[in-house]
Amino acid sequence: MRLTVFGATGGTGQHVVLQALAAGHHVTAVVRDPARLPQVDHPRLEPVTADAMNPDAIRPAVTGQDAVVSALGPRARTNASVCADGASAIITAMRAAGTRRLIVVTASGHVVDAGDGPFTRTVVKPMLRRYLREGFADFARTEQAVRDSDLDWTIMRPPRLTDGKHRPYRTAIDRNVRGGITIARVDLAHAILAALNNPTTAGHTISLGY
């Protein structure tokens, strides 16, 4: 598979790159600083320096690819629109390039649904919305842009991310994972690549957790 990864130098993006290379995929990593990439000299890794918010700048990086992954995220709380702005630019570039398959990472915290237990619905998530209002609004805008696209999209909704080691995790389609309050970035990356290999996940959200 020929895969383009945005946010490739972030915590999740680095795991996506490493696991994709280990699986034999060709990876195009759109970054601002190629030196921050893992395995920068790998023969199947192509770093591309470009502004992920500029559709014209990133169009060559998504042209001819089998799939695109956006693991973009804010580096500071003041940058509260990076996910939605990035998704919009990526969608525009993919439409122009004729590339169809897209996976975008948001989060489960801004969504309350039947997968959540009573305490999570009534106490935990209202509290999170109070303190993470801007970030959650960015995730909501991101998901709306992805849903409104005509692409073959999948939205990944992890809970709180950690730097833990790989271990068994649970997933749920179109609903949150009951009691799934954390997930390691290495396992989120594993789930992203699993979704790419499963065309039935297109048009759905995937939540996950331990």
- Map the chain to HEC letters: CEEEEECCCCHHHHHHHHHHHHCCCEEEEEECCHHHCCCCCCCCEEEEECCCCCHHHHHHHHCCCCEEEECCCCCCCCCCCHHHHHHHHHHHHHHHHCCCEEEEECCCCCCCCCCCCHHHHHHHHHHHHHHCHHHHHHHHHHHHHHHHCCCEEEEEECCEEECCCCCCCEEEECCCCCCCCEEEHHHHHHHHHHHHCCHHHCCEEEEEEC
Domain 2-209 has CATH 3.50.50.60: no
Instruction: Return the pLDDT at 78.
Output: 56
Provide the whole-model pTM: 0.93
Give the domain ranges of the chain: 2-209
The per-residue pLDDT for range 14-63, each reduced to its tens digit, is 999 999 999 999 999 999 988 888 777 899 999 999 999 999 999 999 99
Instruction: Return the pLDDT at 79.
Output: 64
Span 103-110, average pLDDT: 95
Contact by Cβ (8 Å): 67, 1: yes
